[in-house]
């Protein structure tokens, strides 16, 4: 069946509106190990997600083929399932005809280069990492991937949109070893231009991270001023991004539910969600419901301006749609940020560290998927990093736990760095200095 035939057939089965979202993904990935191509994997994937609306209820199905029989049986299941739903908040399908802010297509030139070029790039990464120091004993991860994706979104209410993008991602992870202790440093690059992949930066960053962590010791349990490296700050902000989403508000899974218009964070905190953000890799005109994306300040000088919404949650809270409805697992729509970032400050990372007399610089965290509670805001994550003494990086430390509460922490940010990541994907945050957090160690 064609996409139009799917829509027509869905309507025949009694659905009031039908939407199809078809995506084609091509990706290739190369991994190198000890100078040799370890694996080369190619993917050609297709999927079509079909949503059907009836009596304000929405059900959805996903197929990986346009085969008549497969689609027919899924459409029938969809028509059956939609009658079973009894949620009270109405669902919507977006009408066509909106004006969209045009964005430049993200287009990579990777097809101009051969597999041999890509292998050569990985060999250079690996050998250069090994050459940095005798203590770099191995490059455990040395990987290059290229992805091209094309999306088409159509519905029975006149919506007809499409978007394509392609990019390259590369990452390297050298292993340093000394006296039976090991440490890994990871660095990556996302790019569109094969020639602009920042090989030298990745080599320097990853090897330095691994080498600096050698000899890491423990830290006494206590309360310390903490500086989060920008990658770590970004990970934490990303892990808590659900607190700003309409779905979380609907499910009462965020403490911000009744706080719109109130001051929730320190005055120095402004958090933006900007689909057209210059420093982000991907720019979007519309979300996966076809709603035009808009740029907004989610938190402005500490005041919470409002949730990021899908059509359903916007309606439920009586708000305008924000263009944040995106597909998650199984083809259903949920609210997600476009490009969300904490607005940067004026100090460099080193200037921030120089303000700390006796504290901790956290350069890596683990366990964010499990050690945080988006409802209460509490987090407890594994950390590694350095002791800061008299404004300078002192000794490396590992296996401690950083504990705090996201809402309290955002009221205790002393300094914000000026170093937001270029070409970020999803969520970004500059270096942050927090007045005090609990550290559990020895």
Partner 1 sequence: MSVKHQQVFGITPQVAKQILQVALSTGGQFAEVFMESATNEVFRMRQGKLESTNLSNVKGAAVRVIKEGTEVSASVTIATAEKLLETAKTLADSFVGEKTTDVAEFVEKEVNIVVNPRQVRGDDISKELDLLSGATRGAREYSDEIVQVIALLTKNERNIFVFASDGTWQTDYRCNTRLICQAIASDGKDMQNGSNSFGRNQGMEMFDGFDPVAFGKEAAFNAVEMLHAEEMQGGEMPVVIHNGFGGVILHEACVHGLEATSVAKGMSVFCGKLGQKIASDIVNAVDDGSQLDLWGSINVDDEGTPSKRNLLIENGVLKSYLVDKRNSFKMNHPITGSSRRESYKYQTTSRMTNTYFLPGDSTFEEIIANTKFGLFAKEMGGGSVNPATGEFNFAVNVAYMIEDGKITRPVKGATLVGSGKDVLLRIDMIANNLEYGYGMCGSQSGSIPTIVGQPTIRVSHMTVGGKGGNK
Which stretch of DSSP H or E encloses residue 188?
strand 187-191
11, 13, 56, 62: which one binds partner 1 (CB under 8 A): 62
Closer residue to partner 1 in complex, CB, 160/358: 358
Please, what is the angle between helix 115-132 and helix 199-213, to 10°?
A: 40
Count Cβ atoms within 10 A of the Cβ of residue 378 and give its class: 0-12 exposed, 13-18 middle, 19 or more buried: middle
Site for partner 1 contains 111 (CB under 8 A)? no
Q: Are 343 and 272 in contact (CB under 8 A)?
A: yes
Q: Where are the alpha helices (DSSP H) in 52-96?
A: 68-84
Closer residue to partner 1 in complex, CB, 41/164: 41
Closer residue to partner 1 in complex, CB, 3/277: 3
Looking at residues 138 to 167 of the shown chain, list those that interact with partner 1 (rule: CB under 8 A): 138, 140
Pairing verdict, β 358-366 and 222-228: parallel
Only one of the segments 231-239, 291-299, 363-371, 415-423 lies at the binding site for partner 1 (rule: CB under 8 A); that segment is: 363-371
Which stretch of DSSP H or E encloses residue 127?
helix 115-132
Site for partner 1 contains 204 (CB under 8 A)? no
70, 106, 132, 260: which one binds partner 1 (CB under 8 A): 70
Measured between alpha carbons, how far is 71 from 78 in angstroms, rounded to an integer?
Answer: 10
Measured between alpha carbons, how far is 422 from 420 in angstroms, rounded to an integer?
Answer: 6
Beta bridge partners of 308: 245
Backbone angles phi, psi at 3, to 5 degrees: -60, -40
Site for partner 1 contains 69 (CB under 8 A)? no
Site for partner 1 contains 362 (CB under 8 A)? no
In whole angstroms, how close is the CB of 205 to partner 1 at the nearest point?
17
Closer residue to partner 1 in complex, CB, 293/333: 333
In whole angstroms, how close is the CB of 58 to partner 1 at the nearest point?
7
204, 260, 354, 438: which one binds partner 1 (CB under 8 A): 438
Instruction: Tell me the per-residue interface mask from 272 to 311 with partner 1, x by CB under 8 A, - otherwise.
Output: ----------------------------------------
16, 46, 152, 199: which one binds partner 1 (CB under 8 A): 46
Measured between alpha carbons, how far is 257 from 412 in angstroms, rounded to an integer?
Answer: 21
Site for partner 1 contains 330 (CB under 8 A)? yes
Only one of the segments 41-49, 97-105, 187-195, 289-297 lies at the binding site for partner 1 (rule: CB under 8 A); that segment is: 41-49
Looking at residues 7 to 36 of the shown chain, list those that interact with partner 1 (rule: CB under 8 A): 33, 36
11, 13, 37, 279: which one binds partner 1 (CB under 8 A): 37
In whole angstroms, how close is the CB of 412 to partner 1 at the nearest point?
13
97, 179, 369, 390: which one binds partner 1 (CB under 8 A): 369
| DSSP state string for 25-36 | EEEEEEEEETTE
Measured between alpha carbons, how far is 214 from 135 in angstroms, rounded to an integer?
Answer: 9
In whole angstroms, how close is the CB of 296 to partner 1 at the nearest point?
26
Q: Is the CA virtual torsion 31, 177, 208, 232 positive or negative?
A: positive
Q: Are 435 and 410 in contact (CB under 8 A)?
A: no
Contacts of 238 (CB under 8 A, 6+ apart): 340, 426, 427
Only one of the segments 1-9, 121-129, 422-430, 433-441 lies at the binding site for partner 1 (rule: CB under 8 A); that segment is: 433-441
Closer residue to partner 1 in complex, CB, 267/358: 358
77, 120, 131, 425: which one binds partner 1 (CB under 8 A): 77
Beta bridge partners of 360: 226, 387
Which stretch of DSSP H or E encloses residue 316?
helix 311-316
Measured between alpha carbons, how far is 225 from 404 in angstroms, rounded to an integer?
Answer: 12
Q: What share of the chain is helix, strand, coil (3-state, %, to 5)?
A: 25, 40, 35
Looking at residues 236 to 265 of the shown chain, list those that interact with partner 1 (rule: CB under 8 A): 251-253, 255
Instruction: Tell me the per-residue interface mask from 382 to 421 with partner 1, x by CB under 8 A, - otherwise.
Output: x-x-------------xxxxxxxx----------------
In whole angstroms, how close is the CB of 270 to partner 1 at the nearest point?
26
């Amino acid at each position: 069946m064609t996409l139009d035939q799917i829509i027509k057939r869905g309507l025949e089965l009694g659905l009031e509106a039908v939407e199809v979202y078809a995506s084609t993904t091509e990706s290739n990935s190369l991994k190198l190990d000890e100078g040799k191509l370890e694996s080369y994997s190619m993917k050609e994937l297709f999927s079509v997600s079909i949503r059907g609306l009836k009596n304000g209820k929405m059900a959805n199905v996903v197929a990986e083929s346009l085969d008549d029989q497969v689609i027919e049986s899924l459409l029938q299941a969809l028509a059956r399932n939609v009658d079973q739903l009894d949620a009270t908040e109405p669902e919507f399908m977006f009408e066509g005809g909106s004006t969209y802010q045009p964005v430049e297509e993200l287009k990579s030139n990777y097809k101009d280069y051969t597999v041999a070029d890509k292998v050569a790039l990985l060999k250079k990464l690996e050998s250069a990492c090994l050459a940095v120091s005798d203590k770099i004993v191995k490059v455990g991860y040395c990987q290059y991937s290229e992805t091209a994706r094309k999306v088409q979104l159509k519905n029975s209410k006149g919506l007809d949109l499409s978007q394509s993008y392609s990019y390259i991602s590369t990452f390297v992870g050298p292993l340093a070893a000394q006296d039976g202790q090991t440490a890994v440093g990871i660095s990556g690059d996302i790019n569109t231009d094969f020639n602009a992949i920042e090989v030298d930066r990745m080599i320097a960053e990853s090897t330095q991270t691994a080498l600096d962590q050698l000899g890491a010791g423990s830290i006494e349990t206590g309360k310390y001023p903490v500086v989060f490296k920008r990658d770590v700050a970004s990970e934490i902000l990303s892990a808590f991004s659900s607190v700003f989403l309409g779905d979380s508000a609907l499910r009462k899974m965020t403490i911000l539910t009744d706080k719109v218009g109130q001051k929730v964070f320190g005055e120095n905190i402004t958090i933006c969600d900007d689909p057209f953000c210059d420093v982000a890799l991907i720019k979007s005109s519309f979300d996966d419901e076809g709603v035009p994306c808009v740029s907004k300040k989610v938190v402005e000088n500490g005041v919470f301006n409002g949730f990021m919404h899908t059509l359903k949650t916007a309606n439920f809270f009586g708000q305008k749609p924000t263009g944040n409805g995106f597909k998650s697992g199984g083809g259903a729509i949920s609210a997600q940020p476009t490009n969300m970032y904490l607005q940067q400050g004026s100090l460099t990372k080193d200037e921030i560290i120089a303000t700390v007399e006796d504290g901790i610089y956290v350069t890596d965290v683990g366990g964010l998927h499990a050690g945080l509670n988006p409802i209460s805001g509490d987090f407890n994550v594994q950390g590694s990093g350095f002791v800061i003494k008299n404004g300078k990086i002192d000794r490396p430390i590992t296996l401690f736990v950083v504990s705090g509460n996201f809402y309290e922490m955002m009221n205790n940010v002393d300094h914000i760095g000026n170093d937001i990541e270029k070409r970020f994907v999803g969520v970004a945050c500059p270096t942050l200095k927090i007045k005090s957090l609990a550290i559990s160690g020895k």
